[in-house]
Amino acid sequence: MSNTRKVAELADVSIGTVSRVLNNKPGVSEPTRQRVLAVAQELGYAAPKRVPVGRSQITHLGLLIRPTEPDPISNPFYSDIFHSVEQSCRDLQINLSFSALDMVGSRLRSLPALTNDERISGLVLVGAIPETIIESVLHALQVRHGSNGFPLVLVDDWFPRRAWDAVVIDNAGGASLAIEMLTRRGHRHITLIGGPDHPSIIERTRAYEQDMRQSGLRPMIIPSSGLDPQDGEAAVGEILRKQPATTAIMCSNDSQAIGALRRLNELGYAVPEDFSVVGFDDIAMAELTLPRLTTIRVDRVAMGRSAVELLLNHIRTPGRAPIKSVVGVTLVERDSVCPPRSN
């Protein structure tokens, strides 16, 4: 039996973990590192001189994203985050392994291949991924690396009772900007098209309700299970039937808003003269609609860059407290909003 294999057996870790410890590589928890070093010394190994984990030692990171339509790389929101993470890694000469999760609902059908790569020092997870699936992936990485923890950062997702780093959007601030702008223009009947139980959508909805009440107005929400153009189209019909006094439609994201614009146009309504429409996210298509969409801009490039910076900090500072980074938003006023119609 080789010396490395003997150390791995007595320390109850993989051979790869022993190699990482003896070569001062990142990705191993401090208790596991100390256990391996103690066994190695008992067997006559000289403990290596500890050096800080530097950029040159972090050679591989992983990126996991929830499956989206049409596909994660083409998604108008998440594709910008993915490319930002990729560019940040390229600038730092770090290899990035990418995979879309094979999941159905809250069940993970199979583990992504990158969980078998011992070179990966940390993981970026993008989108609203169920907690149970994150736990499954994290457990696989901990077993592979022989550690009790593994550096990860969530993007556009957050679990308040979990010690996981996260990069999130100022959703409440964005909703407040939209409500303030609409009420300043004179709107009093503002209807929100809701969305699924995604953390960002929940925050936007709660902020809408709170800001409407603080303005002395009655919140009006049309439920929706999706965030696609067809969901915005369907919601327009519900607004006309259930909330005919509506003068402004606030959407949970830009894709909904694009569908709402299309349906209003098909029905012969003018935007913004008959209905003002506001989106959220400022995807590329928002500037190409007729009329051009007024929306809340989310800096998705900054989200990707912040995720990589936060992950590297976590790798280099094991045991630190979790960090939640909030990326600010701005109002982009284009052509889809004007004062309310008179009748």
255-305, pLDDT tens digit by residue?
999 999 999 999 999 999 999 999 999 999 999 999 999 999 999 999 999
Longest dimension (CA), the chain: 88
What is residue 67's predicted lDDT score, i.e. its pLDDT? 81
CATH no. of 171-299:
3.40.50.2300
The 10s digit of each residue's pLDDT in 88-124 is 999 999 999 998 898 888 889 999 989 888 889 999 9
179: left (phi over 0), alpha (psi -120 to 50) or beta: alpha
| Residue 24 scores a pLDDT above 80 | no
What percentage of the chain has pLDDT greater than the value 70? 93
How confident is residue 46, by pLDDT bands cut at 50, 70 and 90? low
Peptide bond into 291 cis (omega under 30): yes
Using the predicted structure, report yes or no on whether residue 197 has a pLDDT greater than 70: yes
The domains of the chain are located at 3-42, 57-168+301-327, 171-299
Query: Which range is least confidently modeled, 93-102, 140-149, 324-333?
Result: 140-149
| pLDDT tier, 5 (very low <50, low <70, confident <90, very high otherwise) | confident
Cα distance between residue 202 and residue 198, in whole Å: 6
Which class is 57-168+301-327 in CATH? alpha beta
Give the Cα separation of 267 and 110 in Å (integer).
46
Angle at 318 between CA 117 and CA 144, to 5 degrees: 25
Average pLDDT over residues 178-197: 97
